[in-house]
Chains A and B, each alone.
Chain A
Amino acid sequence: MDTALQSLIYAADDHYLSDADLDRFGKDVQALGDRIEAYEYIRERELSILQPAVDYLTEEFLGSDPKLLERAVMHWLSILRYAAMAMLLNNSEYLSRRILEWLPDLVEVYQLRDIELALYRLILVQAKSSLSPEQLALIKPYLEEAYAVLLNAKPALQKAA
């Protein structure tokens, strides 16, 4: 659930919401409308955002193993979907829990860091041309969060035999 709305619901546990809270509630509901619209837009344009980014990626990493490139693409497909949902819920913890806490070890083991970071950059370029500035502003913090996590990916696992 939307974290801002949820905190207001908790606040109303045993008393009426104040005028200021009700005003905030109205604004949060309105913001939720904008996020639903952005979510639908991203959902409908997933392919048109990702495919050109992936095409540029394959050119940029011409000699790389296609399986590795595919794996990185799958990661960003997931990131984009979870980021869109986190945006809808206004909840960055959702993105962290569902994918970002889990991904760095995989990126490290398959040595995908450079590919993943390049793909982030290419996806952002496509998102800029596909989404309105307002929609981009809604989704961008979540994509940036994913970028930051992958940028700092550390070798977390011991060497598997």
Chain B
Amino acid sequence: MISVKELVRESHLPSNYFAPDVYIQGDLEAGLIENRKGARLLALPEPFLEAIYEGLAEEVGAASESVLYKCGAWWGKTFYRRFAEEVSQHYKQPLAEVEMIEFLQCFKQSWKTHGWGKVDLDFNFYQQGFIVVAVRNSAFATSGSALGKPKCFVEAGLLSSFFSGLTGQKLHCIQTTCESLGAECNYFVLGLPERVKRAEAWLQENHDHATIMDRLCQGQANR
């Protein structure tokens, strides 16, 4: 016998914490956009992002890729901390105890609500030590000049720190496809640095995502 009254009293009613109409709020009097916890949000115009990309490329050349990755990684660290705090408070339990599917729903919705695109996670390579992230309509693929290779360095850095925070292990992230190159989505591969970095050479040889994943997994099987 299920008592609805008891359920209402004892359980957490499911809801979409990151629903955009409730998560993004504004204090128009003070000229602020805030999230539902009162943390300030900034809406950056695309030309500003482009200016950062171009300015960095002009000043530091090829090193700008690594600078952008590190910026993303720094940002991802604080984003993870805030995400974990908010989701834990919402579910009234530590993030590690939140059901996997609910964590995933929150993660995907938070990405969408912040305007960073539509994210999906693929755990099919988890046993081999990799997580694949697919982002469609990425906020980072359209800015900056064409490099002839994947260029969402901020996004890669952001993902590396977020999942490092989540797994408690230092992870690296490599982008294997890019919307800026006509791909249907940005694919990112996350894993331990010594395992994932082997893909950099294959990327330079213009191998596609499927081939890179095959080789990465093959490399793990041969160990």
Interface residues of A (CB under 8 A from B): 46-47, 50-51, 54-55, 57-58, 66, 69-70, 73-75, 77-78, 81-82, 94, 97-99, 101-103, 105-106, 109-110, 157-161
- Taking the closest CB of chain B, its distance from the CB of A53, in whole angstroms, is 9
The answer, yes or no, to whether B210 is at the interface (CB within 8 Å) is no
**A161–B123 CB distance below 8 A:** yes
Residue A99 contacts which of B11, B14, B127 (CB distance < 8 angstroms)? Answer: B14
Chain A hits for B100, CB < 8 A: 160
Chain A hits for B11, CB < 8 A: 70, 74
**B1–A99 CB distance below 8 A:** no
Interface hits, B57-104 → A, CB 8 Å: 100-102, 104
- Taking the closest CB of chain A, its distance from the CB of B78, in whole angstroms, is 25
Number of interface residues of B (CB under 8 A): 29
Residue B22 contacts which of A47, A69, A98 (CB distance < 8 angstroms)? Answer: A98
**B101–A74 CB distance below 8 A:** no
**B4–A77 CB distance below 8 A:** yes
Residue A98 contacts which of B1, B4, B15, B124 (CB distance < 8 angstroms)? Answer: B15
Residue A105 contacts which of B1, B101, B122 (CB distance < 8 angstroms)? Answer: B101
**A106–B5 CB distance below 8 A:** no
**B5–A97 CB distance below 8 A:** no
| Whole-angstrom CA separation of A109 from B2 in the bound complex | 22
Chain B hits for A158, CB < 8 A: 120-124
- Taking the closest CB of chain B, its distance from the CB of A77, in whole angstroms, is 6
Interface digits, B1-30 against A, CB 8 Å rule (1 contact, 0 not)? 111110110010111100111100000000
Residue among A99, A159, A160 facing the most chain B CB atoms (10 A cut-off): A160
- Taking the closest CB of chain B, its distance from the CB of A72, in whole angstroms, is 10
Chain A hits for B126, CB < 8 A: 161
Please name the residue on chain B nearest to A100 by beta carbon: B16
Please name the residue on chain B nearest to A77 by beta carbon: B13
- Residue pairs across A and B with Cβ atoms less than 8 A apart, 13 shown, are A50-B4, A51-B3, A58-B1, A70-B11, A74-B7, A74-B13, A75-B14, A77-B13, A94-B21, A98-B15, A99-B16, A102-B109, A161-B123
Interface residues of B (CB under 8 A from A): 1-5, 7-8, 11, 13-16, 19-22, 100-102, 104-105, 109, 120-124, 126-127
Residue B2 contacts which of A73, A102, A160 (CB distance < 8 angstroms)? Answer: A73
- Taking the closest CB of chain A, its distance from the CB of B13, in whole angstroms, is 5
Chain B hits for A94, CB < 8 A: 21
**A106–B2 CB distance below 8 A:** no
- Taking the closest CB of chain B, its distance from the CB of A2, in whole angstroms, is 14
Please name the residue on chain A nearest to B1 by beta carbon: A58
**B16–A98 CB distance below 8 A:** yes
**A55–B101 CB distance below 8 A:** no
- Taking the closest CB of chain B, its distance from the CB of A132, in whole angstroms, is 22
**B2–A78 CB distance below 8 A:** no
| Whole-angstrom CA separation of A26 from B124 in the bound complex | 57
Chain A hits for B16, CB < 8 A: 97-99, 101-102
Q: Which 5 A-B pairs have the closest CB atoms?
A: A161-B126, A102-B16, A158-B122, A109-B101, A161-B123
